[in-house]
Amino acid sequence: AAGVIQSPRHLIKEKRETATLKCYPIPRHDTVYWYQQGPGQDPQFLISFYEKMQSDKGSIPDRFSAQQFSDYHSELNMSSLELGDSALYFCASSNRGAQETQYFGPGTRLLVL
């Protein structure tokens, strides 16, 4: 079965640079979620989109923005990167018409030097 696809899997950036993370949800899933997981931490919700509209916003820095496109893929844009942004970034997808079952992608490991 098709799963959530994330790219790139690994990313190394310098401080103050920008990064773009991409997420391709499971086919026919209409909702995308972004989570950030620091070392030894649990995933923290950042933002979600339903039918290309922002549906919920969590602890996402103002330096970050995201959007969902007409093909339902989503991109997380991160600017003015800081050392503390180094983390695993996960995308999850679900079908809002179905019961809550979020499926996670393999994640993007971001390292800011």
Site for other proteins, rule CB under 8 A: 4, 31, 33, 35, 42-45, 48, 50, 55-56, 58, 88, 90, 92, 94, 96-107, 109
CA distance 99 to 79: 35
The nearer residue to other proteins, 56 or 82, going by C-beta atoms, is 56
The nearer residue to other proteins, 16 or 28, going by C-beta atoms, is 28
Please, what is the minimum distance in Å from the beta carbon of residue 90 to other proteins? 5
Cis peptide before 8 (omega within 30 of 0): yes
The nearer residue to other proteins, 20 or 60, going by C-beta atoms, is 60
CA distance 26 to 93: 7
The nearer residue to other proteins, 8 or 58, going by C-beta atoms, is 58
105: exposed, middle or buried (C-beta count within 10 Å: 0-12, 13-18, 19+)?
buried
Please, what is the minimum distance in Å from the beta carbon of residue 101 to other proteins? 5
CA distance 53 to 47: 11
Please, what is the minimum distance in Å from the beta carbon of residue 31 to other proteins? 5
